Structure 1
Amino acid sequence: MRPSLVYGPGGESMAFLASLAALPVRFTIRSGPVRPIAVDDLTVSIVDCLESKKPLPPILEAVGPNAMTIGDYVDGLSRWLAVGQRWKSPIALNGLMRFGRLFGQRFVNPDTAAMLARGADGDPAPLGRLTGKRFASLDKGLARHPATKADRIAAIVKPWIEALAPALGLFWIVTGVISIAAHENGLSLLASAGITGGVAIALILAGGALDVALGLMTFPRRWRMKALLLQAATILLYTAIATILVPGAWADPLGQLLKNGPIVLLTLFLAHLSKADA
Structure 2
Amino acid sequence: MPAVVLRPSLVLGPGAASSRWLRCLSPWPLIPLLDNRARLQPLHVDDLCAAVLALLRHWPEQPCSLALVGPEAMTQSQLLDRLRAAQGWGAGRYWVLPRPLTTLGVALGERFGWRALNRQTLALARRDNLAAPEPLASTCGHRCLPLEARLHDWPSSADSVHLALQPLLLALLVTIWLGTALACLGPGFDWGLRILAEAGIAGWPARLAVLAGALCDALLGLGLLLSRWRRRALQAQIFLMLGYTALVTWLLPHYWFDPFQGVGKNLVLLPVSLWLLWLQPAYARSRP
TM-score of the aligned structures, taking structure 2 as reference length: 0.83
2:95 equivalent to 1:89: yes
1:7-26 maps to which residues of 2 (within 5 A)?
7-26=12-31
Which moves more between the two structures, 12-21 or 211-220?
Answer: 12-21
Count of residue pairs brought into register by the alignment: 274
In 1, are the aligned partners of 2:59 and 2:140 still within 8 Å (CA)? no
1:216-231 maps to which residues of 2 (within 5 A)?
216-231=222-237
In 2, are the aligned partners of 1:105 and 1:162 still within 8 Å (CA)? no
What are the Cα deviations for residues 112-159 of structure 1, in whole angstroms up to 9, with x where unaligned? 7764443421111111122334421121232xx3346xx111212323
1:68-79 maps to which residues of 2 (within 5 A)?
68-79=74-85
Match of 1:198 among 200, 204, 209: 204
SS at match of 2:64: coil
SS at match of 1:60: strand
Give 2:153's aligned amino acid: P
Runs of at least 5 residues in structure 2 that lack an aligned partner in the other structure? 1-5
Give 1:160's aligned amino acid: L
Distance, in Å, in 2 between the alignment partners of 1:53 and 1:176 is 62
Which moves more between the two structures, 220-229 or 35-44?
Answer: 35-44
Tell me which residue corresponds to 2:147. Answer: 138
Distance, in Å, in 1 between the alignment partners of 2:132 and 2:107 is 34
Tell me which residue corresponds to 2:44. Answer: 38
In 2, are the aligned partners of 1:225 and 1:272 still within 8 Å (CA)? no
Tell me which residue corresponds to 2:263. Answer: 257
Deviation at 1:22, TM superposition (A): 2.2
Deviation at 1:10, TM superposition (A): 2.7
In 2, are the aligned partners of 1:27 and 1:92 still within 8 Å (CA)? no
Distance, in Å, in 2 between the alignment partners of 1:85 and 1:33 is 18
Distance, in Å, in 1 between the alignment partners of 2:105 and 2:189 is 37
Give 2:25's aligned amino acid: L
1:1-278 maps to which residues of 2 (within 5 A)?
1-28=6-33, 29-30=35-36, 32-52=38-58, 54-91=60-97, 95=102, 98=106, 101=109, 104-107=113-116, 115-142=124-151, 145-147=152-154, 151-181=156-186, 182-278=188-284
Deviation at 1:109, TM superposition (A): 9.4
Distance, in Å, in 2 between the alignment partners of 1:187 and 1:97 is 37
Structure 1 pair 92/129, CA: closer, same or farther in 2 (3 Å)?
farther
Runs of at least 5 residues in structure 1 that lack an aligned partner in the other structure? none
TM-score of the aligned structures, taking structure 1 as reference length: 0.86
Give 1:225's aligned amino acid: R
Give 2:116's aligned amino acid: F
Deviation at 1:276, TM superposition (A): 2.4
In 2, are the aligned partners of 1:128 and 1:134 still within 8 Å (CA)? yes
Distance, in Å, in 2 between the alignment partners of 1:177 and 1:87 is 35
Which moves more between the two structures, 224-233 or 5-14?
Answer: 5-14
In 2, are the aligned partners of 1:7 and 1:38 still within 8 Å (CA)? yes
